[in-house]
Amino acid sequence: MNKTPLLRNPYQKKLLLSAGLSWLFDAMDVGMMSFLAAALAVEWHLGAQQVGTLTAINSIGMAVGAAVAGSLADRFGRRTVLVWTLLIFSAASGLSALATGFVFLCFLRFFAGFGLGGELPVASTLVSESFQTGERGRAVVLLESFWAGGWIAAALISYFVIPNYGWRTAFVISAIPALYALYLRRAIQDSPRFTAQETVQMPFLRRLASVWSANYLRSTIMLWVLWFTVVFSYYGMFLWLPTVMVMKGFGLVKSFQYVLIMTLAQLPGYFTAAYLIERLGRKFVLVLYLLLTAASAIWFGTAATQTSLIAAGICLSFFNLGAWGAMYAYTPEHYPTAIRSTGVGLAAAFGRIGGVIGPYVVGMLVAQKTPLTTIFLIFFVAIVIGALAVLFLGPETQGTDVDLTT
């Protein structure tokens, strides 16, 4: 067996960096939407429910994109689908700068979400399949760490660009990934596992049936519950974070500044998860980080002082994004190569339904003057349910190879 340490293999290093940058651009787009929603609410006089609808439309696109792209990646290859989804999302995001009204912007955000939601499960599958059993968990978490870089970029762009140059300029910047996609097409290859199985690809309906077959039923149920609860809570909390800060009494620019500070905590969250996941196992790390995320959500919702609020937000970012990294590493390891991208895509797609409901529910509750303590209690319960699903239904996949057991 090849004992080459992680990231010492030149191609693996290039793959992780290349896929990671596409992940960063995705995060930048999602992150900017949370800041742009706050700015658009002021300029277009949008109500809380309209802001919730805008973010929900983006998540609907992500749900459809994850299911479609996941299936297509098992048919046409991970690299091809990765490039096309990146092109779709960056083009739609850039065109959002031309939006003249709320309905047109929602239309464009659906397609941006479609490309973004399709890219994420395909990229994680490609990276997972390109590393050895003892390295793949850490590699996927490191891939996820680029998400923090994208949020930091989004916070910086929002802090320096939106107040001075307007929200349309921020959308123009989000079109840059289209140029990167052209480079990506030549820079990376399909995973060796997928290439080796190209001659035995299954039709979509057979792959769908396999995901829900007796061999994978328990894992599929667990993953769908996990993804739903994590995505529901993440998008419900983080897309509303700048707006929540405004509700707490801070000005728009000051809110952007505080959210940037909280966002920086995502990076050590990822890196600690990457360190622990190959030592303590996927299941332990995932459950631990989820429970600490739930505790941080309660703390954030009840924080009464500026210092407490920022500290709670830092912990929320740290543990929530560490859990995301562990989840992305954990999910592909439940399915064999022939149905892996389909299984990951469907779990992510079901999770994105939570991403639709979360922001919309927050918008509805905010419009009804519901206390923030109650809102964050809902997220606490959701995250605990996800942790319990993993604890009682999830197998430990560290050091296993499902292709050898099916």
Q: CATH code at 276?
A: 1.20.1250.20
Q: Which domain holds residue 385?
A: 10-185+204-397
Q: In this structure, is residue 406 part of a structural domain?
A: no
Structure tokens at 24: 């960063």
Cα of 286 vs its chain's centroid, Å: 15
Residue 268 falls in which region: left (phi positive, over 0), alpha (psi -120 to 50) or beta: alpha
User: Which residues lie closer than 8 Å to 8 by C-beta, 6 or more apart?
Assistant: none
| Residues 372-395: tens digit of each pLDDT | 889 899 999 999 999 999 999 999
pLDDT at position 256 is 63
Q: In this structure, is residue 198 part of a structural domain?
A: no
8 A C-beta contact, residue 304 and residue 371 = no
| Residues 138-155: tens digit of each pLDDT | 888 888 888 878 877 887
pLDDT at position 261 is 77
Q: In this structure, is residue 196 part of a structural domain?
A: no
8 A C-beta contact, residue 69 and residue 117 = yes
Rounded CA-CA distance 330/138 in Å is: 10
Rounded CA-CA distance 304/369 in Å is: 18
Q: In this structure, is residue 330 part of a structural domain?
A: yes
pLDDT at position 275 is 85
Structure tokens at 387: 């942790």
Q: Is the dihedral of CA 158, 161, 167, 172 positive or negative?
A: negative
Q: In this structure, is residue 195 part of a structural domain?
A: no
Q: In this structure, is residue 193 part of a structural domain?
A: no
Q: Terminal CA-to-CA distance of the chain, rounded, Å? A: 21
CA dist list (Å): 323 to 69, 91, 386: 23, 30, 11
Q: In this structure, is residue 99 part of a structural domain?
A: yes
Q: Is 220 exposed, middle or buried (0-12, 13-18, 19+ CB in 10 A)?
A: buried
Domain total of the chain: 1
CA dist list (Å): 330 to 51, 139, 184, 239, 305: 33, 12, 25, 25, 37
Rounded CA-CA distance 27/62 in Å is: 13
pLDDT at position 170 is 86
Residue 97: DSSP 8-state: G
Cα of 280 vs its chain's centroid, Å: 23
Q: In this structure, is residue 295 part of a structural domain?
A: yes
Q: Mean pLDDT for each 10-residue chunk of the chain (406 residues)?
A: 55 82 82 77 79 79 90 86 88 89 91 89 85 81 83 80 84 81 73 66 82 93 96 83 67 63 82 88 95 94 80 90 90 89 91 85 82 90 96 87 64
